[in-house]
Chain A
Amino acid sequence: VSVYVRLRVASEDYAMPVEHVLQVAPHGDVTAVPGSRPQMLGVRNMRGQILPVVDLALLLRVPRTAPPTRLLVAEAGSRQAGFAIDQVSEVGELADPTEETDSDLLVGAALVGGDLIGIIDVTRVFAALEQVPQ
């Protein structure tokens, strides 16, 4: 049992280990970087620091109907990024993931009261973004 930040990406529930989460902020103005892959929404000025913004819905292949409203700022190793999400539902303990998932960006999924919650592997997400060719 570990502590996670539970978040909503479009219509789906996910969770991220709390030790990776730096803050949750309004989505704010994101400057697009032409030529980047569609998963990269652009860069945002976060108190003087320039933060890359990642489209988590696109990355996890969740269909999106409305623009994201929040940014979850996460960190792994020396990398930081803002993940575009819709809502943080709670911070709390979650049973270890018991269900396997297809996505290699997830550690697995936890079954909570009939809901399936995908546990995001932040390190893998960063690694995948860095490695994908243009």
Chain B
Amino acid sequence: VTGIDTELTDIFRDEAAERLDQMETALLAVESGDAGAESVDSLFRNAHTIKGAAGMLGLDDVRALAHAVEDVLEGVRRTKAFPPEVAAPLLRATTMLRAQVAGEHQPIDELLHDLAASLSKLSDGAARAAGAGVPPARAPEAEPAAEPARVLAAEPAAEVQRTPEPAPGPAAERAAEPARVLAAEPAAEAQRTPQPAPVPAEPAAEPARVPAPESAAEPARVREPEPAAEPARVPAVEPAPEAQRAPEAAPHRSDGGKAPLGAPGPKTELRQLRVPAEKIDRLIDVVGEVMQYRGRLAHSLGGHARLPQDVADVLGSGEQMLDELKDTAIGMRTLPLSVITRRLPLAVRDLARAAGKDVEFAVTGADTEIDRVILESLYEPLAHMLRNAVIHGIESAAERERAGKPSRGRLEIRAMPRGSLVEIVVADDGRGVSPEVIERARDEGSLADVLAHPGYSTAAEVTDLAGRGVGLDAVRSYARSVGGNLEIRSEPGHGMEIILLLPLALALLEVLLFERGQAVYGVPMVVVEEIVEVAQTLRLEDRPALEVRGRPLPVADVAALVGAVAPPLSGRSPALVVSAAGRRAVAICDAVLGQEEVVVKPLSPLFGAIEGYLGTAVLGDGRIALLVEPTVLAPRSRRPAGLTSAPDPVPATATATATAPKVLVVEDSFTVRELQRSILEAAGYPVVTARDGREALGVLDRNPDIELVVTDLEMPELDGLGLTRAIRADPARSSLPVVIITSRASEDDQRRGIEAGADAYMSKQGFDQQALLATVERLIGR
């Protein structure tokens, strides 16, 4: 077992424990007769996600058991009745799942039989109630049982041969369960006692949480295994009670309980703690404040050189400790995505084999750092999307060949930071959605609205692996619960891209702080090339410009760029030379305050869909700095602004995104296509793509607002030259700019490209994104 496996298993164990808690709470409510229809959905979703993750981790028993639980719940859904006695075997199943998840391998066959028996009782009951002579549940019931045999050859026989049998002793089981759940409360409380160092000044909003010290002495007793019917399967650390009481209502709170769970057994109890995320947030806040304090102290003392040696030594070691504290605090929150993606290639391979598909899988941007709380809860949704792609998205080799695609399907995860968000894309080149779905999306708003609608499934059949109608809606509600969102792009026959947008979370950021009109702004230090003084500006193409190291760069007033009102700039003002999204620009301010590491706090959601801000930060003197996205200071195209003109009340970013022309990228290589897409999108152009010339013509028909085409030369179906000629032959598009990018870069090729009507011809060799952007801007820039 590798470290990654252990880490993943820990994460899974933690998540499963939380889900099992929720399931048990719901099942107990069913047993006591006060559960709504909603609880069936949440039970189903929980069982489904446990099953999915277990499948990817190769925990066959857990998966089989969760699947059987799903079957019963499916029966409940179908018969629209949840008799209390059905809860008992389900509770036994959650108990067994808990044990299995904790690594205790016990035979599950008997339990599987019991669950099957419950299911058939349910179905028979429904049949009797309906007064029908024919057992209606036969066909649907046979399906899930038969599927695994087809999909997974190495299926445990028990699952295939599930036969109805009466459940033994449900009453005894039922009696034992509530006692344990109640016991979880004091246990959880005790577990909260050993906490990180006391945090000063808890925010007023925090409910007073005074841990009862006496309960600390009791956990061992509380956790002692209960009646013999329940083997030692109680996990070492119970989840925080918040999670049990309001699992859905307060995302941050329930997320808070997701630190890795310790191995079972009282001995390791204190090795790992579950700490609410807000405590770590507060810790990082305090670290940030202490760092500001250190800055002020150093400043008031006037630098180390003037200090007596002993004072300097003490200060020096204090700084070292503070740096370590900072790194540790940050380390508590962020991890690279690779922590959860390293195991995925193997999992996808296994999944593809089981499904009889040939799939190539790649992860890019795995070094993207993500808040740990988000990362730990991300595996499930990612695994879910990959499963969907393999099972439903990517076609069989034969079907792909018939469709003119490479027989090997391609599945990819791409991660990249996007402003204050991290974007994670799961892309496949499979069959995509049907034209009817596209049609519905047009009516309902977006593909995400259709596909992530509760109860929707892209595949009609029910398989062991996925597709039970709890797919994307679970993923979307997950994304939204952490403050993100989900978008879907797809075209019939051409695969699907699911885009998860997740918050970057708070972190310390090195920024350059500057002032303009009383307000303080900050921009990430990494994009600032230098600071210059502006005495006078040139005009270039009727826009103000400044010569920096021999090159004229566009210049603008920071106030105009962000859309703030400010008094006129003085004669000699400092300015930042900023490089962002492939552009360089100069932004003039009143004063540069200096470099500082700040704690980034996202703008409140009450600001709505405001753009252009990474967040805000509290400075040492109590002022608030607005942290702007680099592209605000280096916008794509700039209207006249700056030293003499009046401030523009419209924020620069809003203008840039609202009017940016749409670009069509035509390229059969996935990687090149996505590279070009990302370059163009980063520069603010909306991008649509096509995989060959023929498809491109269709895309052009559907998108009359495309203002430029970037195309490859060699492509299946219709090549770049053919596409260019077809565009030129259409009177409506005769002036649509076409840029050809190709690996064939001889003069002869270039001549043929230009003859076909291309406006520019670029080589893939030594491909230069600046050159691409410059060409695009030249052709359609305003």
A residues touching B (Cβ–Cβ < 8 Å)?
22-23, 29, 31-37, 40, 43-45, 47-52, 54, 75, 77-81, 126, 129-134
Complex CA–CA separation, A51 to B611 (angstroms)? 18
Interface centre among B205, B519, B608, B616 (most CB of A within 10 A): B608
Chain B 589-602 near chain A by CB (<8 Å), digits 1 or 0: 00000000000010
B residues touching A (Cβ–Cβ < 8 Å)?
201, 203-205, 249-252, 285, 289, 519, 562-564, 601, 603-613, 616, 618, 622-624, 626, 651, 653-654
Are A48 and B613 interface neighbours, CB within 8 A?
Answer: no
Are A126 and B606 interface neighbours, CB within 8 A?
Answer: yes
Residues from chain A with Cβ under 8 Å of B601 in the complex: 50
Are B626 and A31 interface neighbours, CB within 8 A?
Answer: yes
Are A48 and B612 interface neighbours, CB within 8 A?
Answer: no
Residues from chain B with Cβ under 8 Å of A129 in the complex: 606, 608
Are A40 and B606 interface neighbours, CB within 8 A?
Answer: yes
Are B616 and A35 interface neighbours, CB within 8 A?
Answer: no
Are A78 and B250 interface neighbours, CB within 8 A?
Answer: yes
Tell me which of B204, B249, B604, B651 contacts A79 (CB under 8 A).
B604
Residues from chain B with Cβ under 8 Å of A49 in the complex: 203
30 contacts between A and B (CB under 8 A): A23-B204, A31-B616, A31-B626, A32-B519, A33-B607, A33-B610, A34-B651, A35-B562, A35-B611, A35-B613, A35-B653, A37-B608, A43-B624, A45-B618, A45-B622, A45-B623, A47-B203, A48-B201, A48-B285, A50-B601, A50-B604, A50-B616, A50-B624, A52-B606, A78-B252, A79-B605, A79-B606, A130-B606, A134-B608, A134-B654
Are B609 and A133 interface neighbours, CB within 8 A?
Answer: yes
Closest residue on chain A to residue B626 by CB atoms: A33
Tell me which of B252, B563, B608, B622 contacts A34 (CB under 8 A).
B563
Q: Knowing that A75-B205, A132-B608 are A-B contacts, what are 15 other residue pairs whose CB atoms are under 8 Å apart, sorted by A's residue number? A: A22-B205, A31-B624, A33-B610, A35-B651, A45-B618, A45-B622, A45-B624, A47-B201, A48-B285, A48-B289, A77-B250, A126-B606, A130-B608, A134-B608, A134-B609
Residues from chain A with Cβ under 8 Å of B605 in the complex: 79, 130
Closest residue on chain A to residue B619 by CB atoms: A45
Are B204 and A22 interface neighbours, CB within 8 A?
Answer: yes
Residues from chain B with Cβ under 8 Å of A31 in the complex: 519, 616, 623-624, 626
Complex CA–CA separation, A132 to B501 (angstroms)? 20
Tell me which of A32, A40, A78 contacts B564 (CB under 8 A).
A32
Residues from chain B with Cβ under 8 Å of A43 in the complex: 603-604, 616, 624
Interface centre among A34, A35, A131, A133 (most CB of B within 10 A): A34
* Minimum distance in angstroms from A28 CB to a CB of chain B: 10
Complex CA–CA separation, A32 to B516 (angstroms)? 12
Residues from chain A with Cβ under 8 Å of B203 in the complex: 47, 49
Closest residue on chain A to residue B203 by CB atoms: A49
From known contacts A23-B204, A33-B613, infer whether A52 and B607 are also in contact, taking CB-CB under 8 Å: yes
Complex CA–CA separation, A77 to B107 (angstroms)? 45
Residues from chain A with Cβ under 8 Å of B609 in the complex: 133-134
Residues from chain A with Cβ under 8 Å of B612 in the complex: 35
Residues from chain A with Cβ under 8 Å of B519 in the complex: 31-32
* Minimum distance in angstroms from B69 CB to a CB of chain A: 32
Complex CA–CA separation, A67 to B252 (angstroms)? 36
From known contacts A43-B624, A78-B252, A80-B205, infer whether A35 and B563 are also in contact, taking CB-CB under 8 Å: yes
Tell me which of A32, A48, A126, A134 contacts B610 (CB under 8 A).
A134
Complex CA–CA separation, A11 to B622 (angstroms)? 32
Are B623 and A50 interface neighbours, CB within 8 A?
Answer: no
Residues from chain B with Cβ under 8 Å of A22 in the complex: 204-205
* Minimum distance in angstroms from B557 CB to a CB of chain A: 12
Are B606 and A34 interface neighbours, CB within 8 A?
Answer: no
* Minimum distance in angstroms from B445 CB to a CB of chain A: 14
Complex CA–CA separation, A92 to B616 (angstroms)? 37
Closest residue on chain A to residue B483 by CB atoms: A78
Complex CA–CA separation, A76 to B132 (angstroms)? 51
Residues from chain B with Cβ under 8 Å of A40 in the complex: 606-607
Interface centre among B203, B603, B623, B624 (most CB of A within 10 A): B624
* The 3 nearest A-B residue pairs measured at CB: A35-B651, A52-B604, A34-B564
